[in-house]
Structure 1
Amino acid sequence: MSNKLISEMNLPQSIANIFAARNILTAKDALSLPEIDLMSLLDVGLKEVNLAIARISEVACPPYQTAFSLMEDRVRKEAFGGHLSTSLVGLDNVLCGGIPFGVLTELVGPSGIGKTQFCLKLSLLAALPASYGGLNGRVIYIDTESKFSSRRMIEIGENSFPQIFRSEGMAQEMAGRIVVLRPTSLSEFTESLHQMKLKLLQHEVKLLVIDSMAALALLTGENERSMGTSRQSSLRLPLPFLKSLAEFSRIPIVVTNQVRSQSGDGSFHYSFQGQNSDFRISERLESHLTAALGIQWAHAVTIRLVFEAHSGQRFIKVAKSPISPPLAFPFIVSSSGISLLSDDGIEIMGQEISTIHCLGQNILDM
């Protein structure tokens, strides 16, 4: 905004002409000079200078919002569908509704831990009719590792939502709402993103899944290293666009990421609380693995869910969230997809297991 032309700011023509004659052409040119210098250069009084600077500042400076207005906006957006439910009640509770719209959510974990199973279930939930808790929309699933299985997706649907998937033609209809793309390079992936921006709105797309970005980066990195190109530099291009795409479309974007071994003694530790509502059980879960793609991706995502095995048990960990403390939920992968377990190892079939008050909700109710 600092490069905005003064001639486009609707100043009085006499003042605008003087600015142009003195070669003060942009907002930056005018705002960089003290008032006394502007009075001398423009040969006008302090009142005229102050009026001109006030107008230039008003146009050049971006609009601001208070913390309270931002909170109101978030609650208003959530009232009109701000989250995609995961159907895992405890996880939905701590995330204040599920996977949030308009931001990047990252799933991190080793191969075979359950990330793709989680994505398949999310895809079904986004495609389901609203009367069954879904978003009644379409899904774009970018499958970079050829792990997407339509047979497994239908199996999850038949076991999770038998009243829908066992009706004649409904399985085909649900599957028809999920579009699978398989780009073979980062450039092809980036081109697809740019082409789909308007299609996200035109075709009522309610979820974008990228499974996995790390695999695509690794494939592209191998090709680029043979040409002497840095993989890390090539990864910087999609990040800002992905974030703007999420904000523009107001849909959840879920990206899976792989892990790699942490070299040397630099292992890191997460401390997570148990899933019971009184939080008296606390367990320290340690990891010698770190997320691929580096710190740039870690800062870019709003929600990071870590999938990890510990002492023979799988856990979903809320490792990064602006509204939730670090929490760990034990889970299993079954015929109906991912299911959470209670403290005694019994599969949880929908009862409420955790209660977290969303940030700002109580303030707005006062």
Structure 2
Amino acid sequence: MATTMLLLPPGGWLHSSRHSTAAAVGGFGGRGCHHHHGPPALRSEGACLHGVQPPVSCALPPWARGRAMVMLQAGLCPGLTAEMIQLLKASGIRTVVDLISSDLEEVAQKCSLSYKALVAVRRVLLAQFSAFPINGVHLYEELKSSMAILSTGNKSLDTLLDSGLYTGEVMELMGAPGSGKTQVCLSIAASVSHSLKQNVLFIDSTGGFTASRLLQLVQFRTEEEEEQVEALQRIQVAHVFDIYKMLAALQELRHCMSQQVVCSGGPVKLLVVDSVSAVVCPLFGGRQSEGLALMMQLARELKTLAREFGLATVVTNHVTRDSSSGHLKPALGRSWSFVPSTRVLLERSQGALGKASTQCIASLTKSPRQPTGIKVELDIGGYGALEERPVFMSAVVFSSKTNPIELVYYVGVLL
């Protein structure tokens, strides 16, 4: 008997990258893409991105089935009319899974529907929602044609991230209050909007978004008022202060991307969420099982949006201190740890006499491409934020417990 592996609906787990949008900044080789960084295998092909899709041969996990059921609706596929849907619902068949797993002869008799019509609908639904194996060559070619790297506007931060923000992935900025997370997000949004001419959706859940500061960052990059207005028009802002409104905002983004509806000429290419912990942490005060379920729903939505539509996603998170080691660690626990592909810890440097400094240390704590422990210094308090300056970047790689090997990289001139 043939086994059918169904895809998750919006916000699900498995997916096909057929719906990925074309590479930002005009495809590979356009503005914002880098060819001199990244894995050698991809550099030789002139590609900008490295990585693979999750295996499509995985079966649908039981824990995901409840939310994974796509509701039958008119227009979902040819032949699935509103009248047919009403008759199917009257017989308890409400989702794609219900219809595919039913005995169509019984359904045809019970609902007084054409057996041939039901078979035709099921074939289309299977073709639309089933996962098909893709060999490595085709997957590699698809990645090269649909993915890109967006520059953050700061060479040091780009180097830390192995060239910049990778579309299809989630990058997390974590740090204590006042560490500069929002300033970095605003600076990245201004750079992507002005320099790369890409649309940005900025979801603010802390009230930290300041329009005047964003304008200041754009003005730092151009003195032309027309360019300033165009850059600001490419940045959409949503203020949400609970998990339900955030999920609604992400669903609205999914709808707009699916329908290719964008307010200002082109699809959103950068999604910024500042912050996820602000809306998730309050959920764990009472019934933690419900809070965990909502957090996982948010996690799946962020990851699938990034992968399906080729978004570069930046989220911010708070930090807590490990009770045993005393080291800082990201909030939201292990359940959230699979969401970001890359994690950067921001820590504000101490100035003279213990005063707060505008200098920020960015440390790479998780990456699929770079060794963790790399650190760069950023200036986040300047007029343009993330200002360029010579920095020292180092990483410590332990070859054994007693023999640490320090790898030192120089960017610019060491002061």
TM-score (normalizing by structure 1) = 0.64
Change (3 A) 1:308 1:71: farther
Q: For 2:174, give the aligned amino acid.
A: V
Task: Confirm or deny: 8 A CA contact 2:174 2:319 kept in the other structure.
Answer: yes
2:315 counterpart SS class: strand
Change (3 A) 1:94 1:111: closer
1:293 matched to 2:318? The reply is: no
In structure 2, how many angstroms separate the alpha carbons of the residues matched to 1:193 and 1:118? Answer: 22
Q: For 1:2, give the aligned amino acid.
A: T
In structure 1, how many angstroms separate the alpha carbons of the residues matched to 2:214 and 2:131? Answer: 49
Task: Confirm or deny: 8 A CA contact 1:99 1:252 kept in the other structure.
Answer: yes
Task: Confirm or deny: 8 A CA contact 1:331 1:339 kept in the other structure.
Answer: yes
| One of 215, 219, 232 as aligned partner of 2:278 | 215
Task: Confirm or deny: 8 A CA contact 1:329 1:341 kept in the other structure.
Answer: no
2:332 counterpart SS class: coil
| One of 118, 127, 135 as aligned partner of 1:65 | 135
Task: Confirm or deny: 8 A CA contact 1:116 1:147 kept in the other structure.
Answer: yes
In structure 2, how many angstroms separate the alpha carbons of the residues matched to 1:228 and 1:330? Answer: 38
Q: For 2:370, give the aligned amino acid.
A: S
In structure 2, how many angstroms separate the alpha carbons of the residues matched to 1:153 and 1:60? Answer: 44
In structure 2, how many angstroms separate the alpha carbons of the residues matched to 1:178 and 1:61? Answer: 35
What is the Cα deviation at residue 176 of structure 1? Answer: 2.2
| One of 189, 208, 215 as aligned partner of 1:123 | 189
What is the Cα deviation at residue 240 of structure 1? Answer: 1.4
The 5 Å alignment of 1:1-366 reads 2-3=3-4, 62-66=132-136, 70-78=139-147, 82-128=148-194, 133-134=195-196, 136-159=197-220, 161-162=221-222, 166-200=223-257, 201-203=260-262, 204-222=267-285, 225=286, 230-263=290-323, 265-267=324-326, 288-309=327-348, 314-326=360-372, 327-333=374-380, 334-339=382-387, 341-343=389-391, 353=411
Task: Confirm or deny: 8 A CA contact 1:83 1:97 kept in the other structure.
Answer: yes
What is the Cα deviation at residue 72 of structure 1? Answer: 4.5
What is the Cα deviation at residue 353 of structure 1? Answer: 2.1
2:387 counterpart SS class: strand
In structure 1, how many angstroms separate the alpha carbons of the residues matched to 2:271 and 2:5? Answer: 35
In structure 2, how many angstroms separate the alpha carbons of the residues matched to 1:175 and 1:92? Answer: 23
1:112 counterpart SS class: coil
In structure 2, how many angstroms separate the alpha carbons of the residues matched to 1:61 and 1:102? Answer: 19
Tell me which residue corresponds to 2:34. none
What is the Cα deviation at residue 232 of structure 1? Answer: 2.6
Change (3 A) 1:331 1:261: same
Q: For 1:152, give the aligned amino acid.
A: R
What is the Cα deviation at residue 336 of structure 1? Answer: 0.8
In structure 2, how many angstroms separate the alpha carbons of the residues matched to 1:307 and 1:248? Answer: 29
In structure 2, how many angstroms separate the alpha carbons of the residues matched to 1:150 and 1:252? Answer: 22
What is the Cα deviation at residue 308 of structure 1? Answer: 1.8
Change (3 A) 1:60 1:121: closer
In structure 1, how many angstroms separate the alpha carbons of the residues matched to 2:130 and 2:240? Answer: 41
Structure 2 alignment gaps of length 5 or more: 7-99, 102-128, 352-358, 394-409
What is the Cα deviation at residue 146 of structure 1? Answer: 0.5
1:300 counterpart SS class: coil
2:229 counterpart SS class: helix
Give per-residue Cα distances to partners, 1:83-118, cap 9 Å, x unaligned. 110122133234342010011111111111111111
Change (3 A) 1:321 1:212: same
Change (3 A) 1:339 1:71: farther
TM-score (normalizing by structure 2) = 0.57
Q: Which has the larger radius of gyration?
A: 1
Structure with the bigger percentage of helix: 1
Give per-residue Cα distances to partners, 1:173-194, cap 9 Å, x unaligned. 3222211111222112112211
What is the Cα deviation at residue 315 of structure 1? Answer: 0.9
In structure 2, how many angstroms separate the alpha carbons of the residues matched to 1:151 and 1:237? Answer: 33
Structure 1 alignment gaps of length 5 or more: 6-25, 28-58, 268-287, 346-351, 355-366
2:337 counterpart SS class: helix
- Percent sequence identity over matched residues? 25
Task: Confirm or deny: 8 A CA contact 1:123 1:139 kept in the other structure.
Answer: yes
Change (3 A) 1:319 1:65: farther
In structure 2, how many angstroms separate the alpha carbons of the residues matched to 1:337 and 1:125? Answer: 10
RMSD: 3.1
Change (3 A) 1:119 1:89: same
Change (3 A) 1:90 1:103: same
What is the Cα deviation at residue 323 of structure 1? Answer: 1.3
Task: Confirm or deny: 8 A CA contact 2:170 2:314 kept in the other structure.
Answer: yes
Q: For 2:161, give the aligned amino acid.
A: L
Task: Confirm or deny: 8 A CA contact 1:329 1:340 kept in the other structure.
Answer: no
In structure 2, how many angstroms separate the alpha carbons of the residues matched to 1:171 and 1:60? Answer: 45
Task: Confirm or deny: 8 A CA contact 2:363 2:375 kept in the other structure.
Answer: yes
In structure 1, how many angstroms separate the alpha carbons of the residues matched to 2:199 and 2:146? Answer: 20
